[in-house]
Structure 1
Amino acid sequence: MQIIFHVDLNAFYASAETSSQPSLKGKPIVICRESRRSIITTASYEARKFGIHSAMPLFKAKELCPHLVIVPPHFELYKTLSEKFFNIISTFSQELEVASIDECYVDLTNYIQVHHQNPYDVAIEIQKRVFSELKLECSIGIAPNKFLAKMASDMEKPMGITVITNQSYKQKIWPLPIGNMFGIGKKTAPKLIELGIVRIGDLAKYENYEKIKPIFGKNALIYYQKANGKDYSKINVAHNELKSIGNSTTFERDSQDEDFIKSVFRELALEVSSRAKKRDLVGNSISITLKYTREKSKTKQMIVDDYTQDFDTIYATALLLFESIYGGEMLRLVGISLNNVKHVEELQQQISLFDHTQIQASKKEINETEKVIHRLNSSLPGLKIMKASDLIKQQSTIQKKYLENNE
């Protein structure tokens, strides 16, 4: 039987700030920018005692806790700590799947068999290492599959360890409200409750299977199986590969001022280019996001001629995409993403499979062209010149989720 851990850093952003600023320890803090329309990213456990939670508007949190401490986000700190956290976990097993910046699934079956250790003792060892090296607390769920491990890690926070087995899952998860089941969203839970499926145990009943089909569609069997403690999904190491580098920003007030919006795109392009260069990553697709309201947003992307991390290329493409889809509406958020990213070394290995001389000549020609365009744009600030080839291969889609590192 496989042994899966789900390791979840507790109140990660808030804990990260406390680890770097010990004076914040024990105080009710929230992570967000100080502005009229800020939304809380993370709340410390001290702040949660006042009823404050993530996604709550900052003004409401201040009403609940007048002495609330507001800390602006420091994403580079979070990324650094996150990488160190995953590095620690990977010393126990390389079969690790990153679920988000602060949580992962890890298959410890082989480690436990080789070292003849009790899974609970291994979990304690992980907690001790994470805290001693990073000053971060984590909760751990231990189970025979990913779903039960995730459910277990949410049961005791902070610094909890919960074990769910094939024999105990009925006692552990069936009495829980249906809304507590991982994968059941806020919109789905009320629909299930209307059908009399109030607890996870109700979803596990065969007589309710036909009822849930209209709600879950082709995924009905998956949810039914999970409610019965079964999850056949495997640890997906490939999921850890970074597919894009993105950045976005929410305006202090909605705006339709195109000069202002373009200046924001410039700052975002600089940030995306800088992050790509730091990680030695290049991409051949650039996309932008325009968000009009909480519900309405649009994204459009363009394939560029060559893999790039160049600021001018990212910025110019973003402006072209913006001008092609913007109709003068009020905007609340804009974003840029560099997609289909590869590490420079990986790209060089792929290039070596082809005629090196031909590709070098082609790349030299492209680079010289970009240099000329850059000089022209620098000398003509009111004009933006682009290669004609950048005008093709466009694709438009409706945005379905936020870009990486939304603020």
Structure 2
Amino acid sequence: MTARWVLHLDMDAFFASVEQLTRPTLADRPVLVGGLGPRGVVAGASYQARVFGARSAMPMGQARRRCPHATVLPPRFALYQAISREVMDELAAAGGVLEPVSVDEAFLEPPDLAGASAEVVSAFATDLRRRVRERVGLPASVGAGSGKQIAKIASELAKPDGLRVVAADEQDGVLAPLPVRSLWGIGPVSEEALRKVGITTIGQLAATDTREVVGVLGSAVGGELHRLSRGIDERAVAPRGAAKQISAETTFDTDLTAMSAVHEAVEKITAAVHRRLVADGRAARTVTVKARTADFTTLTRSETTAFATRELPTLSAMARRLAGTAVGEGGVRLLGVSVSGFSEDPPLALFDAVPSDEGWTTRPISSPDAAALAAASGAADSEVTASPADIPSTADADGVTITEDAATPAGPDAGIGAGPTRPDFRADDPDRPWRAGDDAVHTEHGHGWVQGSGHGRVTVRFETAVTGPGPARTFDAADPAMARADPLLSWRPAG
């Protein structure tokens, strides 16, 4: 049988690296990306911040205490998604099957590498890393091995900005000393169960009888994990299926107690979900609302229509009704909205599904209010699809976090058009005060980012990925020469 080679590419500290690339002053400084509020969560941490113990999925307050001198920035998901598309395009051009795992990592199995020597694979991967860096300006680590598990572990060993090729005759030696948590499928509970029987490394797990492993971890996963510990991984590299669900959720700085505030939040979250639904070109029959109370009790309510829809007024109305039954008297700390039950053939846009005494029926949607809402939501840019490794399940408190289940990242023809400049760009909320991390453009000084604001003043550092470190200047917050800018222009300026 011809030797198999699977490659795993992982963009190093992706979110933070994008911020350091597009804001060159931060290139060698600790950066934390995530929610800025008291309930914010770290979505990404630079390597300079990680040495102090800050990491993804950590409460932002804890990360800031560990690394008080870090620059904290809100996520710019549209920018991350645009760069991710180009990375995935470059990987697809390498040949073979591509399996995106998240916005910043993917597996590939180039047929030209079947039966190749480790030296040939190393040369191939070195060239791949070079092409990714030249295309997007960011480093990537690559691991290669006989299966997905070995390739993933190899890329972790290669970080940051490195390459590790694990040949079949050395994989046992590479795996043996690693902690069992390095294996897919082993979390804190499984790790503790194995520790109780004296198994703490992959080598110890591999040397244990399969029946004992199954007895500890269960028949469902024990046998498979034992095979992986011995380097046996026959799982195919395969494209991921279409999203089964699109969802968004927000954690609030303070609990929402007024139903009017709940409805306002639900409408904003639903609009974010709707933007992605429209971008996908599909319609949904089911809307689900999730509410988490102050004591972390989570309630969900769902409603399914007879007709698939992608009209915002209908989705918002369903979400508001569901929120009324899911939210109790004590208020909520988190709200989420998801849509599912997708259809590729929605009703004609002249009609929409609405509830009536006779059940779900159709009605014209050409009323001024509905048309205005649909137009307002349709022009907005879509949010990013991210993995739980990059965006924790508790979303940051400063915006809506979009997630998808089993989603394929948007292809080269999706989303922002032929290039990074989006002529339909519009600020999420042009009336809110300037905050640190906002993209700004000045008629005289060009593109920059807000370093700080307050007392009617705002300080902007004017720089992009192509300018190198730039100067900082302070203006009146209401200066008519300054406006909110498209984040994509910090990466590749127009023209």
TM-score tier by shorter-chain length is 0.7 to 0.9
Q: Which moved more, 1:289-298 or 1:79-88?
A: 289-298
Letter paired with 1:405: I
| 2:92 aligned residue | 90
* SS in structure 2 of the partner of residue 16 of structure 1: helix
Q: Is the contact made by 2:255 and 2:333 (CA closer than 8 Å) also made in structure 1? A: yes
| 1:121 aligned residue | 123
| 1:65 aligned residue | 67
Shift of 1:376: 8.5
| 2:141 aligned residue | 139
Distance 1:364 1:66, change over 3 A: closer
**TM-score w.r.t. structure 2 length?**
0.68
Shift of 1:115: 10
Letter paired with 2:364: K
Unaligned runs of 5+ in 2: 355-360, 372-392, 396-400, 404-495
| 1:285 aligned residue | 286
1:113-161 Cα offsets, whole Å, 9 max, x none, are 5999811111111111111111121111101111111111111211121
Q: Is the contact made by 1:142 and 1:152 (CA closer than 8 Å) also made in structure 2? A: yes
Q: Quote the sequence identity (%).
A: 24
Q: Is the contact made by 1:312 and 1:374 (CA closer than 8 Å) also made in structure 2? A: no
Letter paired with 2:302: Q
Letter paired with 1:274: R
Correspondence for 1:210 among 206, 209, 212? 212
Tell me how far apart the structure 1 counterparts of residues 142 and 157 of structure 2 sit (CA, whole Å): 9
RMSD (CA atoms): 2.9
| 2:337 aligned residue | 336
| 2:345 aligned residue | 347
| 1:303 aligned residue | 304
* SS in structure 2 of the partner of residue 204 of structure 1: helix
Tell me how far apart the structure 2 counterparts of residues 54 and 61 of structure 1 sit (CA, whole Å): 9
| 2:155 aligned residue | 153
Tell me how far apart the structure 2 counterparts of residues 283 and 365 of structure 1 sit (CA, whole Å): 12
Q: Where is the strand percentage greater, Structure 1 or Structure 2?
A: 2
Matches within 5 A, 1:237-386: 237=239, 239-292=240-293, 296-341=297-342, 346-347=344-345, 369-371=362-364
Unaligned runs of 5+ in 1: 349-358, 379-400
Letter paired with 1:193: R
Distance 1:371 1:164, change over 3 A: same
Shift of 1:18: 2.0
| 1:405 aligned residue | 402
Letter paired with 1:347: D
Matches within 5 A, 1:176-187: 176-187=178-189
**TM-score w.r.t. structure 1 length?**
0.82
Distance 1:255 1:216, change over 3 A: farther
Q: Where is the helix percentage greater, Structure 1 or Structure 2?
A: 1
Q: Is the contact made by 2:40 and 2:59 (CA closer than 8 Å) also made in structure 1? A: yes
Distance 1:327 1:59, change over 3 A: closer
* SS in structure 2 of the partner of residue 218 of structure 1: coil
Distance 1:369 1:92, change over 3 A: same
Q: Which has the higher contact order (CA 8 A, sep 6+)?
A: 2
Letter paired with 2:345: L
Tell me how far apart the structure 1 counterparts of residues 33 and 171 of structure 2 sit (CA, whole Å): 35
| 1:351 aligned residue | none
| Matched length | 368
| 1:390 aligned residue | none
